[in-house]
Chain A
Amino acid sequence: MNPRGETYLWIAQRASAAVLGLCVLVHLATIIYAVQGGLTGAEILARTRGNAGWLAFYAIFVAAVAVHAPIGLRSVLAEWLGWRGRGRDAALVAFALILAGLGMRAVLGVYA
């Protein structure tokens, strides 16, 4: 990849980190709040089903993970395994799609 592409990856890494920081905080705060009164699975589903705000928040969360993790893994693969070039980047695109797919599957599972 050329320096410009690598710079965009770095920007994406930083931006997704900022989003993740916020999302993790909201996520943890929600969990702690939700389990206080001892919610059941059915009660949780009653709140998440059809809730567009909830769907949007977790869709953004999943997208940030799918961007952030593969870029970090890219450096790990280069430094520890010496794996660089197109093969690695193609594998990482696949990894990003798997993360996004599994993540959205989980999100839709409690939304729909």
Chain B
Amino acid sequence: MSATLNVSVWRGGADGAYRDYEVPRHESQTVLDVVTHIQRALDPTLAYRYACRVGMCGSCAMTVNGAPRWTCRTHVDKVYKNRKLEIAPLRNLPVIRDLVADMREFFDKWARARGQFRGARTKADDFARVAPGSEARKLVDAAIECIGCGVCYSACDVVAAIPEYLGPAALNRAWTLAKDERDTLGVDRLRAVAGDAGCHACHTHMSCTERCPKGLSPTAGISGLKRAVAGAALRGEL
């Protein structure tokens, strides 16, 4: 293990450029540790975003050596290939400055995909009991642990080609609600996720699934949505 890391970090907005830094190397160092060192010891003007440092909040995602990753749980050892560490903001989103991407469009698409839970119960009602072993519940469980990091969105080439495409995270969210037996939005949500800007734009090429740090498969959820939407269309409900 050499004593220092050669790090290139994106500086500025969309028309910015990489700047090189030398950062001391440590055992079990994460990419977020590297960025934090640069800001604290080398250049306090560096802008980046993080909160939890333990893989829960989803705010620290960046492009690391060309691939989107959560930086707080990505060890330098895993990505420091050819003595090079290149850190940039997430792809497919506007750059605000340095390593900070503008996430507004990403989350607006969750709203457009009708990503809000809509239930029928009030606080006067008892808890809903959802059988843990039911098919629908298992599908929801497999997809629910999304932290909203945007890694999948940044990895998706269809988002790059079709800017209106809702993208894997928003569709994955819609899928968990479509399978939630307490939710009442039903066909309205399926209508919102159908079509050329929705689930039908997905090519099932699985970059999102490959990259999701939580090990989720938005691809599987999107396929499920396609089936659900087709069913609704054939029943004349869409």
Q: Hey, which bits of chain A sit against chain B, CB under 8 A?
A: 1-4, 6-11, 14, 75, 78-80, 84
The answer on a CB contact under 8 Å between B200 and A79 is no
A3 shortest CB reach to chain B, Å: 4
Q: Mark B105-127, 1 if CB is under 8 A from A, else 0.
A: 00000000000000000000000
Chain A residues near B198 (CB-CB < 8 A)? 3
Chain B residues near A84 (CB-CB < 8 A)? 196
A14 CA to B204 CA in the complex, in Å? Answer: 14
Known: A78-B162, A79-B161, A80-B161. A3 touches B195 (CB 8 A): yes
Q: A75-B201, A78-B161 are in contact. List 6 more A-B contacts (CB 8 A).
A: A3-B194, A6-B195, A7-B233, A9-B200, A10-B200, A75-B196
B170 shortest CB reach to chain A, Å: 15
B8 shortest CB reach to chain A, Å: 31
A84 CA to B163 CA in the complex, in Å? Answer: 13
B151 on the A face (CB < 8 A): no
Majority secondary structure, B binding face: helix
Closest to A7 in B: B233
A10 shortest CB reach to chain B, Å: 5
A8 CA to B238 CA in the complex, in Å? Answer: 10
Chain B residues near A9 (CB-CB < 8 A)? 200
Majority secondary structure, A binding face: helix
Known: A11-B233, A78-B162, A80-B161. A6 touches B238 (CB 8 A): no
B131 on the A face (CB < 8 A): no
A67 shortest CB reach to chain B, Å: 16
Closest to A9 in B: B200
Q: Mark B212-229, 1 if CB is under 8 A from A, else 0.
A: 000000000000001001
A22 CA to B198 CA in the complex, in Å? Answer: 29
A2 CA to B233 CA in the complex, in Å? Answer: 12
Known: A7-B233, A80-B161. A2 touches B195 (CB 8 A): yes
Known: A10-B230, A78-B196, A79-B161. A4 touches B201 (CB 8 A): no
The answer on a CB contact under 8 Å between A7 and B196 is no
A79 CA to B192 CA in the complex, in Å? Answer: 21
- Among the listed B195, B196, B230, which residue makes an inter-chain contact with A11, where contact means beta carbons less than 8 Å apart? B230
Chain B residues near A2 (CB-CB < 8 A)? 195
- Among the listed A4, A6, A8, A14, which residue makes an inter-chain contact with B196, where contact means beta carbons less than 8 Å apart? A6
23 A-B interface contacts by CB (under 8 A): A1-B196, A3-B191, A3-B192, A3-B198, A4-B191, A4-B238, A6-B194, A6-B196, A7-B200, A7-B233, A9-B200, A10-B200, A10-B226, A10-B229, A10-B230, A11-B233, A75-B196, A75-B201, A78-B161, A78-B162, A78-B196, A79-B162, A80-B161
A11 CA to B234 CA in the complex, in Å? Answer: 9
Q: Mark B172-207, 1 if CB is under 8 A from A, else 0.
A: 000000000000000000011011101011000000
